[in-house]
Structure 1
């Protein structure tokens, strides 16, 4: 996409709303408002999960991902930095994915790069998440081991860890 008709101010404002909606979704665990920010025909590229076309493909994926361990233990998705490219209508950012406190105040997380493309009217027509899945596995195993050490490891996390550390 080139020749965006969106001003920098509009792009910055729209992304601020996007971040607020994502933050609210993470705190309420209601992922529908997050999905509602995309156009009906959104192209969502998730390097580990594949390519989804349309909100109705994104919706079940995000609900399953975020309500199943380890996604269900991620508490927020703050942007550590962001770049606004008004020529393409894109925002490129690094998102943190911190997990719940395992019981001693430890913060364990992994990051990803996201590129979201603005379509106007508060909607986003494309998102691509770029990351190394092994870094997420490593962070999650670290979280599980810390929780195990503290005696706070839930059954679903223990089952997950048993599968990935065989």
Structure 2
């Protein structure tokens, strides 16, 4: 017997995605964090494992408050698989960066596995991706912005720290 109905799982995920979209626009990550259980396990392969909302909030606020995370404009799922038996949603998320000035879209994707706990809350999330792909996308964005004259100091500092200037 399924742990959650497909309807409940898809509705909860749609609400979760809308909350992420709202947070990406407002840069207020509290509502997003509130969709996790208080004892959530958040596994982020490059940054480690966070336990509980407070650790997730501190991480996401820092990550999305600086380059390159803060330059990502949305996080839409490109596809999703719903597993009612385990209460999991497996999806591929796009991470497009803001327009560097000429309409170019530069992004990288990740796979996320989120585990539903019921009542609109998620108890676990694991983000799986190749950090090199995100580094390359961020560098391409910096190089494009530099060429267009739109590279700000924060992104330029990141570019210098990551070997982008010769």
TM-score normalised over the length of structure 2: 0.97
Which residue of 72, 75, 95 corresponds with 1:74? 72
Residue 119 of structure 1: aligned partner:
117
Q: 1:26 aligns with which of 6, 18, 24?
A: 24
Q: Deviations over 1:83-134 (max 9, x none)?
A: 0011100000000000000000000000000000000000000000000001
Q: 1:102 aligns with which of 100, 103, 106?
A: 100
Structure 2 gap segments, 5+ residues each = none
Match of 1:131 in 2: 129
5 Å-filtered alignment, 1:1-166, equals 4-165=2-163
Kindly state the Cα deviation for residue 4 of structure 1 after the two structures are TM-superposed: 4.9
* C-alpha distance in 1 between matches for 2:56 and 2:93: 19
SS of aligned partner of 2:25: helix
Note the C-alpha offset of 1:5: 2.2
**CA RMSD, Structure 1 to Structure 2 (Å):** 0.9
Distance 1:110 1:4 in 2: 33
CA distance in 1, matches of 2:63, 2:123: 20
**1:28 & 1:62 partners in 2: Cα distance?**
13
User: Runs of at least 4 residues of structure 1 off by over 4 A?
Assistant: none
CA distance in 2, matches of 1:11, 1:114: 15
TM-score scaled by length of structure 1: 0.97
Once the 2 structures are TM-superposed, how far is the Cα of residue 165 of structure 1 from its aligned partner?
A: 1.1
Consecutive unaligned residues in structure 1, runs of 5 or more: none
